[in-house]
Structure 1
Amino acid sequence: MKKTIMNTKYIWLILILLGFAACNEPEDVLADYNALPEIVEELPELSAGSVNFSNYVALGASFTAGFTDNALFIAAQENSFPNILSKAFAKIGGGAFTQPLMNDNFGGLAVGGSRILAPRFVFGGAGPVPLESVIGPVTVSTDLLSNPTGPFKNLGVPGAKSFHLLANGYGNLANFPAAANPYAVRLTGSTPNASMLELAMAQSPTFFTLSEIGGNDVLGYATSGGDGSNTITATPTFDFAFTTLVTTLTSGGAKGVVTNVPYITDLPHFTTVPHNPIPLDAATAGFLNSASAYGAYNAGIVQAFAFLVANTPMTQEMADAEIAKRTITFAAIPNNAVVIMDESLTDLTALNPALISMRQATSADLFVLTSSSFIGTEAVPGNPQTVNGVAIPLADKWVLTPEEQAEIKTATDAYNATISSVAGANPNVVLVDLNAILQDATVNGVVFDDYTLQTSLVTGGLVSLDGIHLTARGYAYMANKFLEAIDTAFGTNFEVSGNMAKAGDYPTNYSPLLQ
């Protein structure tokens, strides 16, 4: 089908010409009004290339589901990148694209009327806030005891790690919460023990997307501050899962798109909270620096390292470097660094139990977004000597140290090497480099029609209010990157035929009044 685009001013010109047609020759009218011949821009007919789009299935995690603003809800699902893609595919033989739509636009989940996940975030004037803090209490109406009927083409499961997509029983409510995901429960229907991959293959897909596999394998570790409660998936486990997913999905001749894993620590969930948000007056700073507070700690550190230099292989240079790193001082300024726990420091507690492994943060440390509502609070209400992040060091769960960030990068690089290798060896698969896209957005911003999307929280336009997942406009941009890759690899022409998503059709923020 060809598209013809006519400039509006020429339409008005035609109407004027028609008014004079009865009394003027065409040449006279053109001369009198200095009109130009109609300009028509011809676009080529949309072509499916070598792809059969009749049965598109999307397998993945939260991005695939359309998760945004810390929740899943109807409007977000309708603006998921797979749903956007399905609209383009429908123009060249793509079939119906079914999604496990939530019951409302509040978000959140319940089991038997008891809430297990909260509603979405909204913009509260200064930053993200819970929806209910703006509009008051709501009833979470999406309940796992009453699930929609599948099968579903969108098999995105927020929170799923790579190996979860192969796990039988991951969508069985009987296994929740120990070994099942509530979003997966909504997908399995009458086959509760079926894996997500089995649900996909049962539909005999002719085309698929396999997106952000590996993201949650490092994200859980990152959002928990690397405290050990949610470990990074071992590379061999990821390699097996990803290879199995791609091999199985293409086994019937289906073509598809896969993505690699972005450096998640570039996301605003980890870059928004500063390391030095503590304002202090002279009196408070003086108290903190006194022997009654951190002065005694600083003196003990010097003493302990003097002992280690004298009695162990530790050199004075090594001791001086760690003493400088661990010395805690405050000043009467608006931007004192917070105090954090850091397990990478030398353990001195055998010499003195009071010398716990703490230090002041630097710009190299990354704080999870949720720490913004904890830093500066009082552990004992009404007692200013118990301020978290000042008098009491922040626990590991609130901060990613450089060592923990390095663990995440090492795992991400290993995952991406596998993804690139598997994709490169399979002619039915094309790779979208989400890692490069996020890095570009972080440094320069990415241009999408008349907009430049950046990764800054609230104002950037690319990343939603949870600091991790995309906005609707971000998902539309992602969909276009998929279409570009499909054009290049499989001979389609979505871009040159004018069948790309338009930025202006997708919001960056959902109103609190959306129900």
Structure 2
Amino acid sequence: MSTKYIIILFILIGFTSCNSPEDVLRDNNVPIEEEIQLPALIAGEADFSKFVSVGNSLTSGLSDGTVFLAAQKMSFPKILSEKFGLVGGGDFTQPLVNDNYGGLALNGSRIAGPRFVIGENPCSGDPTPAGLESVIGPVTVSTDILLNNPTGPFNNMGVPGAKSYHLLAPGYGNLSNLPLGLANPYFIRMTGSTPDASVLELTMAQTPSFFSLWIGNNDVLGYATSGGDGTNPITPVDGPPGVGFNQTYSALIATLTSGGAKGIVANIPYVTDIAHFTTIAWNTLDPTDECQADLAPQIPVLNAQLYGPLKAIFTALGEPDRIDLLTADGPNPLLINDETATDRRAEIAAALTPVLGAPTAGAFGVIFGKARQATADDLVVLSAGGVIAQTQPGVPAPVNVNGISFPLADKWVLIPSEKAEIKTAVDNFNATIEAAANQAGLAFVDMNALLTQLTSTGITSDNFTLTSGLITGGAFSLDGIHLTSRGYALVANEFMKAIDITYSSNFEASGNLVDIGTYPTNYSPLLPAK
């Protein structure tokens, strides 16, 4: 190399060595990524040394219709405990099940089935929820509430199916009460040598320094999932502790805070916002859908023999909108039974007797006396998907096809009056929850607003947008009620944000919220059993 070029090279090296890398990048118009210095994580006023989480299935980590190992390990309390562990939190024990199949057994006999997985609609090929065994074949449910219960105490005191008053109920975990309907198989796994201890008693025996309480969903959810048919009533707003929601919730908060523990509570979402009630359309009968092609040739017969006569009768009685003729050109509403509709069985029987004879006309009156077609104000429960277009046992053709020629029973549909009952109950319960949180100085999470946002606009976090859509939305698991692991991660972040506000911790400011994208939205049917 020429001497003059060697001298120039050393001059350049000397020049650049006197400048920082950032200066060199600036001089060469290279963008600089500024390093953000985050503050160190602090607990603030909270003591996480003994964290106990109390609630129902949403606390337990239930997903895809059951409790299974992989999802349980990503419950929102477990996620929280991992972050709490960075600022003094202790071990966090959960009542883990034995496999990734899910389900429960009692002395070898199955009492609850395995999880849902993503299957394929045999007609359209679209993804659809399916039972695990329909995809991979028979499995053995190995979690047996008589033979292999885990040993407590458990920091995760989430009991699937629990209502508010169940947390106070003695014997709720006693196996001998199970045949009487007074015990919960999931809680039986948790009570050990104290089968009559309540959920609250087992919680307080651990002397929690910090707690979470998310309870009340099942106090209205059971009514909603049963279509408001009355078999699973809404918990009364008022009544003694262990009966009325207000008094029960007050007793829970008073006991949980009696030892000086701090905590966080969450309110109840509108259950009618979740995928279980928004997936099946009210007008799902569509002969233009290739998967319902056999409906098209039936429409002229249905109109002539059923819909036409019923429409004429209802119109003559001043109710022309109860029934309209079916169309072959697009979606048609489901035929449903409405308990609030005027009962027209006598008029139907009288009008049809000259044509059908008294016995058959009377039977028509019984079947269609409270029938009407569904509207956009009705919600069809997800479980009705296995019933619609199936024949109704014990009813003769041609008036025996559910939702088409036989009205869907009350338990499959939420009508407007039932939706109003649910909303009123949720609003009352949520007012109690927020007031109790404020009075006790607890952190509060508005899960009602969060899930409403999921339904309306979706929620974007860490480059993922979650919505309430089944399968594709990412937030709700395949049962349409419980969350995916990614949904539970979102919940954990919301809890940490609320804890920051109330107790001056800094999970969010210190960059310690979880990346929800690292949590799955579904689990393969081939997930290893253990």
TM-score (norm 1): 0.88
1:91-170 correspondence runs (5 A): 91-125=86-120, 126-145=127-146, 146-170=148-172
1:19-58 correspondence runs (5 A): 25=14, 27-28=16-17, 34-35=24-25, 40-58=35-53
Residue of structure 2 in register with 1:341 after alignment:
337
- One-letter identity of the residue aligned with 1:198: E
Residue of structure 2 in register with 1:426 after alignment:
440
Secondary structure of 1:500's counterpart equals coil
- One-letter identity of the residue aligned with 2:336: I
Please give the per-residue CA displacement for 1:307-361, whole angstroms capped at 9, x wherever unaligned.
Answer: xxxxxxxxxxxxx3xx123224212233111100001111233554515100011
Please give the per-residue CA displacement for 1:258-283, whole angstroms capped at 9, x wherever unaligned.
Answer: 01110010101000101112234665
What's the offset of the Cα at 1:499? 1.1
Mean Cα displacement is larger for which, 71-80 or 346-355? Answer: 346-355
- One-letter identity of the residue aligned with 1:327: I
Quickly say closer, same or farther: Cα 1:302–1:452, change in 2 above 3 A: closer
Secondary structure of 2:36's counterpart equals strand
- One-letter identity of the residue aligned with 2:335: V
Please give the per-residue CA displacement for 1:376-400, whole angstroms capped at 9, x wherever unaligned.
Answer: 1233699665321111111111110
Quickly say closer, same or farther: Cα 1:259–1:350, change in 2 above 3 A: same
Secondary structure of 1:170's counterpart equals coil
- 8 Å CA contact 1:162–1:214 kept in 2: the answer is yes
- 8 Å CA contact 2:211–2:263 kept in 1: the answer is yes
Q: Which of 190, 193, 198 is the matching residue for 1:195?
A: 198
Residue of structure 2 in register with 1:179 after alignment:
182
Alignment of 1:509 with 2:498, yes or no, is: no
Secondary structure of 2:424's counterpart equals helix
What's the offset of the Cα at 1:241? 1.1
- One-letter identity of the residue aligned with 2:333: A
TM-score (norm 2): 0.86
Please give the per-residue CA displacement for 1:181-210, whole angstroms capped at 9, x wherever unaligned.
Answer: 111111111100000000100000000000
Mean Cα displacement is larger for which, 218-227 or 176-185? Answer: 176-185
Residue of structure 2 in register with 1:473 after alignment:
486
Distance in structure 1 (CA, Å) of the matches to 2:322 and 2:515: 52
What's the offset of the Cα at 1:403? 0.9
Distance in structure 2 (CA, Å) of the matches to 1:446 and 1:204: 36
- 8 Å CA contact 2:314–2:320 kept in 1: the answer is no
- 8 Å CA contact 1:63–1:469 kept in 2: the answer is yes
Alignment of 1:249 with 2:249, yes or no, is: no
Distance in structure 1 (CA, Å) of the matches to 2:377 and 2:35: 56
What's the offset of the Cα at 1:366? 0.4
Structure 1: any 5+ residue segments left out of the alignment?
1-19, 306-319
- One-letter identity of the residue aligned with 2:451: L
Secondary structure of 2:130's counterpart equals strand
Identity %: 52
What's the offset of the Cα at 1:38? 9.5
- 8 Å CA contact 1:378–1:384 kept in 2: the answer is no
Residue of structure 2 in register with 1:9 after alignment:
none
Residue of structure 1 in register with 2:64 after alignment:
69
Secondary structure of 2:252's counterpart equals helix
Mean Cα displacement is larger for which, 239-248 or 81-90? Answer: 239-248
Residue of structure 2 in register with 1:210 after alignment:
213
Distance in structure 2 (CA, Å) of the matches to 1:105 and 1:382: 43
What's the offset of the Cα at 1:48? 1.1
Distance in structure 2 (CA, Å) of the matches to 1:386 and 1:41: 67
Secondary structure of 2:443's counterpart equals strand
What's the offset of the Cα at 1:232? 0.6
- One-letter identity of the residue aligned with 1:239: N
Residue of structure 1 in register with 2:74 after alignment:
79
- 8 Å CA contact 1:328–1:359 kept in 2: the answer is no
Residue of structure 1 in register with 2:352 after alignment:
none
Distance in structure 2 (CA, Å) of the matches to 1:26 and 1:369: 71
What's the offset of the Cα at 1:370? 1.2
Secondary structure of 1:479's counterpart equals helix
Secondary structure of 1:128's counterpart equals strand
Residue of structure 2 in register with 1:4 after alignment:
none
- One-letter identity of the residue aligned with 2:462: D
Structure 2: any 5+ residue segments left out of the alignment?
1-8, 27-31, 121-126, 239-243, 288-294, 350-361
Please give the per-residue CA displacement for 1:29-76, whole angstroms capped at 9, x wherever unaligned.
Answer: 858993469954322111111111100000000110001110101111
Q: Which of 200, 218, 221 is the matching residue for 1:219?
A: 221
Distance in structure 2 (CA, Å) of the matches to 1:333 and 1:382: 28
Quickly say closer, same or farther: Cα 1:29–1:71, change in 2 above 3 A: farther
Quickly say closer, same or farther: Cα 1:25–1:174, change in 2 above 3 A: farther
Residue of structure 1 in register with 2:359 after alignment:
none
Residue of structure 2 in register with 1:397 after alignment:
411
Distance in structure 2 (CA, Å) of the matches to 1:222 and 1:127: 22
- One-letter identity of the residue aligned with 1:284: Q
CA root-mean-square deviation: 2.2
Distance in structure 1 (CA, Å) of the matches to 2:308 and 2:191: 59
1:487-506 correspondence runs (5 A): 487-506=500-519
Quickly say closer, same or farther: Cα 1:29–1:121, change in 2 above 3 A: farther
Number of matched residues? 475
Distance in structure 2 (CA, Å) of the matches to 1:96 and 1:390: 55
